[in-house]
Amino acid sequence: RRAGRDRGEVRDVAAGDGRQVMTDFPGFPEEFAERYRAAGYWTGQTLGDMLSASVAAYGGRIAVVDGDRRWTYSELDFRSRGVAEGLRRLGIERGDRVVLQLPNIAEFYETVFALFRLGAIPVFALPAHRYSEIGYFCRHTEATAYIVAREHEGYDYTELAEQVSATVPALRTVIMVGEAGGFVPFDDLRVPPGEEPPAPEPSDLAFLQLSGGSTGTPKLIPRTHDDYLYSVRESARICELTPESVYLVALPCAHNFPMSSPGSLGVFYAGGTVVLAKDPTPGTVFELIERERVTITAAVPPLALAWLAALPTSRDLSSLRVLQVGGAKFGVESARRVRPELGVRLQQVFGMAEGLVNYTRYDDPDDIVTGTQGRPISEADEIRILDDSGQEVPEGRPGHLLTRGPYTIRGYYRAPEHNEEAFTADGFYRTGDIVSRTADGYLVVEGRAKEQINRGGEKIAAEEVENHLLAHESVHDAAVVPIPDEYLGERTCAFVIPAGDTKPRPIELKRFLTARGLAAYKVPDLVRVVDEFPHTPVGKVGRSALRRAISQALQRKDQ
């Protein structure tokens, strides 16, 4: 093994020439790693080992359903070993980063396990991402390959793939699922399995997950086999997954929630079945619940509300036991509707790709299930709730949530400066969430301190959008803030100060952002051109004043 680099701890930028040695990301300090191993949280397995164990125990059972395709555990495993060999033949090796942008199709799992077996590092992009995001992920991780599907929801990814391959020098290979044009067809990877590649270390970096972020550039989250598997196993236990469980992936499969809370990986660990929904509309979802006898699924709040709004249905939903809701705050009024209207148990999930995940438990009383966002997975999850001056707040009072634990990262990937701010010296992650804690240790999300918009579970970093707006010649300054929205929880409003006498038109700015390759969900819903921004006493842009101004203006309009 190539020590250091594979562990993701030290990147071998030659020292000696006076340059600083660069670290990919801060790993868990040895003292903590030892403690987590001794406590049995980290078991020394890799995600590939996890699949192997399930193949041994449940080989003939169905692991994945995608339309008419039904793969058993043995078949998924065999296929992923073949794809691993196909990738190896293309020169993809251990430690290589591979940007993966696939919709909810079975190839996603085939590829992810192939990469895990090779010890190559998937970078999980979302289908909604465009050149601005994908180009950045490829460059920032020095990815050697990009794997994408030709088409999804009416969008043809060819041009995006061409643009990425033309502008990212380190990228050697673009692999396309479906009609591949000039790219490597995914089917070419499907060769007989080769010799078993040397297994990655459990403490190695397993993949890079995306952060919602609050900064100008998206941050990448380095998760190891050891830490992620712990959260997967515990999530499967808390959610009582068994080989009989049938989990419907309605959210984008690469997101942390449907991947590991307990998500598809929790199901693979437990020997159950993962069913992929190509879109999350009630029509598609209800049909799949009936046809596949789905027992559990996960939604963001607006999706859960859309499903409730589509009731009653002629579809038989009686197999469904649990609806998980998370990713954004699910209001108590909405939460109370789930059991009576859908006839299933609600589970609230408050998680983050950086680590910490909270669940309400199945045996919790109704007021906890509807009124809180759950409690941490592990007794080893350390929670601090602090006021602005860094003091612990009394029970029940809101404060900044900080956390540290056996599956929470100690720093982002290749972001040393940002890590200084986002983590305390003793390794706590500053989540940017404002929460309060009940006497029983349940967390209630009260708000947010980070400059982020949570648009129905989709996270938008204000600064990232502002930077794109500032690139427009008629924009002197920009501030992007959330505005309340009945359905999405929040939408985005961009305030802009014009650079000269010509006021930029909102539609023109939106088109400009789209043309710059910004994902559509990040394009502001509203654009307001103003002469100046309010300022706080310390001279920062008065974001809360802007939020108030736009909310009041919209309310006036509604009346």
Residues near ligand OOB (CB under 6 A) are 211-212, 256-257, 261, 326-329, 348-353, 357, 373, 431, 433, 445, 448, 454, 459
Question: Shortest distance, CB of residue 199 to ligand OOB, whole angstroms?
Answer: 27
* Closest to ligand OOB by CB, 251 or 546: 251
Q: Name the 3-class secondary structure at 450.
A: coil
Question: Shortest distance, CB of residue 220 to ligand OOB, whole angstroms?
Answer: 12
* Closest to ligand OOB by CB, 197 or 327: 327
Question: Shortest distance, CB of residue 516 to ligand OOB, whole angstroms?
Answer: 23
Question: Shortest distance, CB of residue 242 to ligand OOB, whole angstroms?
Answer: 21
Dihedral of CA 426/427/428/432: which sign?
Answer: positive
Residue nearest to ligand OOB (CB): 351
Q: Could you tell me the two tokens for 262? A: 């307990």
* Closest to ligand OOB by CB, 118 or 210: 210
CB-based contacts of 208, cutoff 8 Å, min separation 6: 97, 121, 122, 123, 124, 141, 220, 221, 222, 223, 413
Question: Shortest distance, CB of residue 432 to ligand OOB, whole angstroms?
Answer: 6
Question: Shortest distance, CB of residue 254 to ligand OOB, whole angstroms?
Answer: 11
Angle at 4 between CA 34 and CA 42, to 5 degrees: 30
Q: Could you tell me the two tokens for 459? A: 């996270």
* Closest to ligand OOB by CB, 225 or 329: 329
* Closest to ligand OOB by CB, 202 or 457: 457
Give pairs for 286-290: CB < 8 Å, separation 24+: 286/310, 286/313, 286/315, 286/317, 287/315, 288/248, 289/248, 289/315, 289/316, 289/317, 289/319, 289/320, 290/315, 290/316, 290/317, 290/319
Question: Shortest distance, CB of residue 31 to ligand OOB, whole angstroms?
Answer: 27
Q: Cβ of 279: how many Cβ atoms within 10 Å?
A: 12
* Closest to ligand OOB by CB, 448 or 472: 448
Question: Shortest distance, CB of residue 355 to ligand OOB, whole angstroms?
Answer: 9
Q: Name the 3-class secondary structure at 287.
A: helix
Q: Name the 3-class secondary structure at 451.
A: coil
* Closest to ligand OOB by CB, 62 or 328: 328
* Closest to ligand OOB by CB, 81 or 448: 448
Backbone angles phi, psi at 486, to 5 degrees: -60, -40
Dihedral of CA 13/14/17/21: which sign?
Answer: positive
